[in-house]
Amino acid sequence: MNKKVLIVDDSATVRQQVRTALSGAQFDVIEAVDGVEGAEAIEQVADLAAVICDVNMPRMDGLEMLETVRKNPRSALLPIVMLTSEGQHELVQRAKTAGAKGWIVKPFKPELLLAAIRKLTAT
């Protein structure tokens, strides 16, 4: 059975690029357009295997979403990888402290993203 991966990004193009990178490799990709939708999806989809999340988004940014979902015991251990144009060390540290499992700076290499998601969702 395919594993479910959520991509949270306000760019439809990036969401599509992630979908293309993962869909051929036995992942079903679910989309959310900002941190608010992303947090709702994490709450509602019980069998998510991983989340890929942008940082700068309207309504709720990715770091805020990360910190929010980590407070819920149900999603406390869900692998979350940040995918962003930001490379600032302080932001990376904030994500790491909040429990992110990875940080990728755009533009991403599809094979690297796929390898990371495979590693994080391996059972």
Partner 1 sequence: MTATNKQILDRAVAENCLKLFADYELKIRAREPGDAVEIERFLLCGVIGFTSKKMRGVLALATTKEPLELTNHTATTHRDWICELANQLLGRVKNQMLMRGLEILPSIPIALRGDHLSPVIQQGLVSELFTAQRGVVCVWVDCEFDDDFILPEAGECATPPVREGDLLLF
The rounded Cα 52 to chain-centroid distance in angstroms is 2
Identified binder of partner 1 from the candidate list 26, 45, 76, 87, rule CB under 8 A: 87
What separation in angstroms does the CA of 86 have from each of 14, 52, 92? Answer: 15, 14, 9
CA distance from start to end of the chain: 13
Residue span 15-54 as binding mask against partner 1, x where in contact by CB under 8 A, dash where not: -xx--x----------------------------------
Q: Which two tokens stand for residue 88?
A: 């600032």
Strands 102-105 and 48-53: unpaired
Work out whether 14 is an interface residue with partner 1 (CB under 8 A).
yes
Least distance from partner 1 to the Cβ atom of residue 77, Å: 13
What are the residues binding partner 1 (CB under 8 A)?
A: 10-14, 16-17, 20, 56-58, 84-90, 92, 96, 100-109, 112-113, 116, 119-120
